[in-house]
Structure 1
Amino acid sequence: MNTVKNCMDDAGVLLAKNARKSGIPKSTFYQFVQKNQMERLAHGIYLSPESWEDTAYVLHLRCPQAVFSHDEALYYHDLVDREPMQPTLTIYSGYNTQKLTASGIKVYTVKKELLPIGKETITNAFGHEIPMYDLERTICDLVRSRSHFDFQDFQSALRRYAARKDKDLNRLMEYARLFRVQNVVRNYLEVLLG
């Protein structure tokens, strides 16, 4: 049974796929899960009872191709004050998002080649690394999806971005061209930076 324990990460998360890769029989794995009263968080993902659940990390494990975006990224980059009501991810078009949306996750899709644009790895409050879009990609996503945002939040996020010292306007315009929102972004920035 010690071999199963070796498959658990520092956060107390145990993945069935890691146990399979280590050659641990299913019966041994499930005996360990039951004996240690591990909580099933999602298909193939279990948490030890003495650990805190990091929902963002678990979501990343459930869907490793997805990137935290929109509301999540706006909050992380301090462009809005309100914590997101529900997790927000971006995944490539054609990915079956049914299970994600059924579990209350807001999902946006993009062409597969646009998914990695602006993707970075951040360390969240629990100390886990998760993928999130950078500041400039977040602004492009905000502009592209502006009809989904409250107008005051939209304006506030753009104002905060314009006031930041760490903004990269060249990168922003490069991303804006890729997402075909360069004219809209330019118009907003001219007003805010004017």
Structure 2
Amino acid sequence: MYSDLNHFLEDMRSKTIEEQKMMINEMINALNFDQLSQVINFLKEPFFTNNLKDYLLDSTLPDIKSKEFLFLVQAERYNGNIVRKFMNEAGISNYYLDKFINKYQLKKISSGMYIFPHKTLDAPFLFQSQYSKAVVSHETALYMLDLSDVIPRRTIMSMPKDYKLSQIEKNANRYMKIYDGLYNNNKSLIISYPENDPILLTRNAPIDSAQIVLKKTMNNNPVRVTSAEKTIADVLASSSTTEEEVKYEALKKYYDLYPRDSKRLRRVAQKQGVLKVLDKYLWELKLD
């Protein structure tokens, strides 16, 4: 391929980054298992130094086998939003975590939750981390599931009907501002965090685990969201104040995305008592 190494290196330097990446991929495909292991070991440090650069204090990567390195990997995974229970699950004890909280001067959001000073607080992710029964729902879920083009100006989350919202008010921290609100003509809570759309917390019928999916927030963190079928059933409920255009759009998009899942939609609609309403919309849209 090349007559000598110098010729090869000169050719590499003359190419764009994308061209160099393509050449490296070609080289990697020719390596055996042992050679690939050697390459990975060689690339570990520069790869993680670059990947974790936003979190390093002096551009120096901690020992890859250390707890501090593991902490930084987890910090990058959640975009600087630190949840103690997730750190514990990753193998970082409270002893080590407390050391890193001090060393990296993390800001405390609430009990067991912190954020790197230069990172954006991810309110939906942190709120769900604290309140495990909260699920993104209704119009917000429609948008996150690609069933609506309407960009929500708030994050609607559902809690079980019997959940005492007063507990959330009691546990409020200095980063949260809580107001009374209405949603679908029922009492709700509006929870405001800095640099985030408000969270509107409402009560909902029980949400089965089979009707919950994971999606990513704007900050690329995982949150629990009602399934497409559950979300459509929610916005078709008689108490729903969702705009008619949004309902029609959601059903058309659902049938585009899941053309073979109409039976599942009908089962969920029947369970929630909105099957007749669903049939009316489908008839008008000539979808079923």
TM-score range, shorter chain: 0.7 to 0.9
- The corresponding residue for 1:85 is 153
Aligned residue-pair number? 189
Deviation at 1:171, TM superposition (A): 0.4
Root mean square deviation, CA, Å: 3.1
Structure 1 residues 37, 70: CA separation in 2 closer, same or farther (over 3 Å shift)? same
Distance across 2 between alignment mates of 1:16 and 1:186: 46
Q: Deviations 1:13-42 (Å, cap 9, x if unpaired)?
A: 3334567886636xx83x753553322333
| 1:110 equivalent in alignment to 2:220 | no
Q: 2:125 aligns with which of 57, 62, 86?
A: 57
Q: Contact 1:119/1:134 (CA < 8 Å) preserved in 2? A: yes
Deviation at 1:111, TM superposition (A): 4.0
Partner of 1:148: helix, strand, or coil?
Answer: coil
Q: Contact 1:120/1:132 (CA < 8 Å) preserved in 2? A: yes
Structure 1 residues 165, 155: CA separation in 2 closer, same or farther (over 3 Å shift)? closer
Distance across 1 between alignment mates of 2:218 and 2:87: 27
Deviation at 1:70, TM superposition (A): 0.8
| Rg larger for | 2
Alignment of structure 1 residues 150-165 onto 2, 5 Å: 150-162=243-255, 164-165=256-257
| 1:47 equivalent in alignment to 2:94 | no
Distance across 2 between alignment mates of 1:80 and 1:18: 32
Normalised to the residue count of structure 2, the TM-score between the two structures is 0.55
- The corresponding residue for 1:166 is 258
Deviation at 1:170, TM superposition (A): 0.2
- The corresponding residue for 2:228 is 135
Alignment of structure 1 residues 176-191 onto 2, 5 Å: 176-191=269-284
Alignment of structure 1 residues 3-18 onto 2, 5 Å: 9=74, 10-11=77-78, 12-17=80-85
Distance across 2 between alignment mates of 1:77 and 1:189: 19
Q: Contact 1:86/1:105 (CA < 8 Å) preserved in 2? A: yes
Partner of 1:130: helix, strand, or coil?
Answer: strand
Distance across 1 between alignment mates of 2:231 and 2:241: 14
Structure 1 residues 182, 6: CA separation in 2 closer, same or farther (over 3 Å shift)? same
Structure 1 residues 176, 117: CA separation in 2 closer, same or farther (over 3 Å shift)? farther
Q: Contact 1:90/1:115 (CA < 8 Å) preserved in 2? A: no
Letter in 1 for 2:227: D
Which structure 1 segments of 5+ residues have no match?
none
Aligned-residue sequence identity (percent) comes to 21
Partner of 1:187: helix, strand, or coil?
Answer: helix
Deviation at 1:136, TM superposition (A): 1.5
Structure 1 residues 102, 161: CA separation in 2 closer, same or farther (over 3 Å shift)? closer
Q: 2:106 aligns with which of 38, 53, 60?
A: 38
Deviation at 1:184, TM superposition (A): 0.8
Distance across 2 between alignment mates of 1:88 and 1:141: 12
Deviation at 1:133, TM superposition (A): 1.8
Deviation at 1:66, TM superposition (A): 1.8
Which structure 2 segments of 5+ residues have no match?
1-65, 169-177, 179-188, 192-197
